[in-house]
Amino acid sequence: MAIWQFRLDLIPTSALHAKFDNIPTSIPQEMAEDFQWWSDVQPQAGLEARVDVILPKADSWSEDLLIWGDERGDKASVCYDKNRKVEWIGFRVDVRKLSLSFISDICRLSNELGCVLLTGTYNLIVPEEQTVLAAISRSTAQRYLEDPVKTLRSLKPSKDEITRPPTKTKENDVPPKDE
């Protein structure tokens, strides 16, 4: 994903209600990435045709992944399992050329499918244009457009966050074992 793209994944509200008493404002990254949100619910027939109206179909590198739009621009993706059940539906909004109609289409599809939107920072937002635009205005993608150098520097890991590889021992030139 390019730094100027804003991530929006569709999460079924029924899956959130099954997992939580109330829909939270955010979810942990591990849960967002690993939980099978679509395992107990599937979109009605015609999902691909609905996305065809939003963006032109693009070539995919996998039979299980359908892609629409442009890898570096506005993009939609639907991932299927081996049984052709939806596993994930996601969008990338190109903040450089913000399309209000694209955002409106994402919100409309999300509402039709009974979903909320998960941002790249793992916040859950309602699929309403103004809410999405507000989230985009606070995003790294927007900050990058306003000041690319400052934004990129702010993403640089601190010394404490940099993982160093283990040093080699003289015997057999092999890294030491963790103790």
Q: Tell whether 58 is covered by a domain.
A: yes
The most distant pair of C-alpha atoms in the chain lies apart, rounded to whole Å, by: 63
Is position 82 within any domain? Answer: yes
The residue range of the domain holding 99 is: 5-154
Please check whether residue 84 lies inside any domain of the structure. yes
What digits encode the pLDDT tens for the residues 135-155? 999 999 999 889 888 888 887
Residue 172 has pLDDT above 80, yes or no: no
Mean pLDDT value across the chain? 89
Task: Note whether residue 150 is domain-resident.
Answer: yes
Question: What does the pLDDT read at residue 119?
Answer: 96
The rounded distance, in Å, linking the Cα atoms of 45 and 47 is: 6
- Integer Cα distance of 74 and 55 in angstroms: 8
Q: In which residue are the tokens 């979903």 written? A: 115
**Residue 26 pLDDT:** 93
Q: Please give the average per-residue pLDDT across 41-68, as a whole number.
A: 93
Q: Does residue 98 contact residue 6 with C-beta atoms inside 8 Å?
A: no
Is residue 172 assigned to a domain?
no
For the cut 90, the answer to whether the pLDDT of residue 176 exceeds it is no
Q: What is the pTM (predicted TM-score) of this model?
A: 0.84
How many domains are contained in the chain? 1
